[in-house]
Amino acid sequence: MSLFTYHAQDAKGSEQRGTMEAQNEAAIASILMERGWKVFSVAPVVKRFRLDTQIEFLSRVRAKELVIFSRQLAVMVTASVPIVQSLRTLIDQTTNVTLRTAISAIADDVESGAKLSQALGQYPKIFSNFYINMVRSGETSGKLDEVLEYLATQQEKDYDFVTKVRGAMMYPAFILGGLVVVAWIMMVYVIPKLTNILTEAHTALPLSTRILVGTSNFFVQYWWFIIFLVIATIVGVRIAIRFPRGDYAWDWFKLSVPIFGSLLQEIILVRFLQSLATLLKGGVPLPKALEIVSEIVNNRVYGALFTTAIAEVRDGHSMASVFRGKPFIPPMVPQMFVVGEHTGALDSILGTLAQFYTRQVDNRVTNLVSLIEPLIIVLMGVGVGIMVTAVLLPIYNLAGSI
C-alpha cells in the first residue's frame, strides 16, 4: 500500500484535497468516483524521513487499543448514534496518535460519502481484512450495529486468549532463560577455576569430570563460535522464511513439534472456527469467509489447506468432505461440519466447536505450566548433581590417595 495525494471536486462542486492509502492511482480514482466526485489529479506522496515511521513500534496500534476502539464504536452505533458523530467522539478518547489520526481521516471520508468499510480499508496496518469484510457485510445486510457488536466481542475474546497464553508461558520462558545464563557463567568462569586443581594433580579423572572439563574448555576457547553459530542460525531461518517454501517448512515444523505443536494447532483452530462463525453470522458467503480466514490464521500450512477448501467449496463440495482426512485437522472438526450442514446451523456449530477448543487450549496451557515448574526443578537438580559429582568425585579420590 502506498500513500497518494488527490485533487477532486465533490458532488456539491467544492474542491477537495487530501491523502489516501491504496495500491495505485487507479484505486484512488475509483474510490473517489464511487463518491460521485470528479477527479482532477492523483499523485504519489514523496516520502520523507520520519522517526516514527522508520521505527515501527513507535507508531503501531496495539491490540488492546483496537479492542477498546471497537467496543466503544459498537456501543455508540448500537445506541443509534450516527457513525460520523461516533467517530468524532472517539477521536478525543483515543490516546494513540496513529489511531487517533486514522479515526479522524475515517470520519472525514465517511462524512464525505464513503462507506465505513471503504474508509477502514485505507488503513490495512490497523484494521485487518477480517475486520473490514465484517463491516462491509454489516453494511450490506443492514445489520452494522450487530456486526460491530460481534467484532468487539470477537476481538475481546481473541485478545484475552492471546494474553492468557503469553502470560502462562512467561514464567517458563524466564526460568529457561535464567538457566541458560547460569549454565554459561558456570562453564566459562566457575568450572575452569574448580577443575584447575584437578588437572594439575595429574590424577586419573572420571568420565563425567573429563566431559565437564572438555565442555568448559570448548565454551572458553570457542565462545565466539557459539555466538556466531546462534546468530547465523537466527539470520538463516529469517532469510529462509522470506521464501514461500522456507516459510511453509517453518510453519510445518512449528506444528510438528511435540507438545507445543499440538497446542499451536488448537490455537489456530480456535482462531479459524471463531472467525469463520463470526463471518457466517455476519452474512458473508462461505467461500469468501474461507478466503478471509486463510489470511487471519497466519500459517502457511493451514493457509494452503484453506485455499484448496475454497476451490472445492465453490465446486459444490461440502465442508465436511473438504476437511476430512487432512493433516492437522482433528477428526472431530469435519464430523461437526456434517452436523452443521445437515441442520443448516453451521455458524452455531462452529461457535460451539470454537468454545470446545478454547477450553481445550486453556486446560492444556494450565497443565503445561503446572508440569513445567517441577520439570525445570528436576532438570536443575540433575544438572547440578552432574556438576557436583564431576567436581567432588575426583577431589575425594585425590584426598584418599594422599
| pLDDT tens column, 355-379 | 888 888 878 877 877 777 777 778 7
**Amino acid 54: pLDDT:** 41
**Amino acid 57: pLDDT:** 45
| pLDDT tops 90 at residue 231 | yes
Q: CA neighbours within 13 Å on the CB side: how many for 30?
A: 8
**Amino acid 48: pLDDT:** 43
Tally of CB atoms within 10 A around 304: 14
Give residue 301's Cα distance to chain centre. Answer: 15
| pLDDT tops 70 at residue 251 | yes
What share of the chain has pLDDT > 70, as a percent?
87
76: nearest Cα among 66, 86, 87, 91: 86
**Amino acid 235: pLDDT:** 92
Residue at grid coordinates 496451557: 365
State the average pLDDT over residues 84-104: 84
State the average pLDDT over residues 202-218: 75
**Amino acid 402: pLDDT:** 57
Question: Going by C-beta distance under 8 Å and a sequence separation of 6 or more, which residues neighbour residue 105?
Answer: 119, 122, 123
State the average pLDDT over residues 202-210: 72
Question: Going by C-beta distance under 8 Å and a sequence separation of 6 or more, which residues neighbour residue 314?
Answer: 287
The model's confidence at residue 47, banded by pLDDT at 50, 70 and 90, is: very low
78: nearest Cα among 140, 138, 156: 138
Instruction: Give the phi and the psi of residue 8 in degrees, each rounded to 5.
Output: -150, 175
Q: Do 20 and 31 contact (CB within 8 A), yes or no?
A: yes
**Amino acid 211: pLDDT:** 79
For the chain, what is the total number of helices (H) and then of strands (E)?
19, 3
> What are the structural domains of the chain?
1-48 (3.10.20), 49-127 (1.20.81.30), 260-360 (1.20.81.30)
State the average pLDDT over residues 282-293: 78
Residue 80 parent element (H or E): none
Residue 313 parent element (H or E): helix 300-314
| pLDDT tops 70 at residue 34 | yes
What share of the chain has pLDDT > 90, as a percent?
1
144: nearest Cα among 221, 76, 220, 242: 76
Q: In what order do the strands lie in the sheet with 15-22?
A: 15-22, 2-9, 38-44
**Amino acid 22: pLDDT:** 67
Which is more confident, 376 or 250? 250
In this structure, which amino acid lies at residue 156?
Answer: E
| pLDDT tops 70 at residue 53 | no
216: nearest Cα among 247, 193, 238: 193
**Weakest mean pLDDT among 194-198, 209-213, 312-316:** 194-198
**Region at 154 (left for phi over 0; alpha for psi -120 to 50; beta for the rest):** alpha
The model's confidence at residue 23, banded by pLDDT at 50, 70 and 90, is: low
Question: Going by C-beta distance under 8 Å and a sequence separation of 6 or more, which residues neighbour residue 62?
Answer: 96
Residue 242 parent element (H or E): none
**Amino acid 228: pLDDT:** 92
Tally of CB atoms within 10 A around 14: 9
d(CA 304, CA 90): 39
73: nearest Cα among 62, 87, 61: 87
Which is more confident, 337 or 160? 337
Q: Average per-residue pLDDT in the chain?
A: 78
Tally of CB atoms within 10 A around 156: 15
Measured between alpha carbons, how far is residue 175 from residues 22, 123, 188, 235, 316 in Å?
A: 46, 39, 20, 25, 52
pLDDT in tens, 127-150: 877 788 778 777 766 777 877 887
d(CA 328, CA 254): 12
96: nearest Cα among 129, 119, 68, 124: 68
Kindly compute the dihedral angle of the four CA atoms of residues 243, 245, 246, 248, in this order, to the nearest 10 degrees: 120
The model's confidence at residue 193, banded by pLDDT at 50, 70 and 90, is: confident
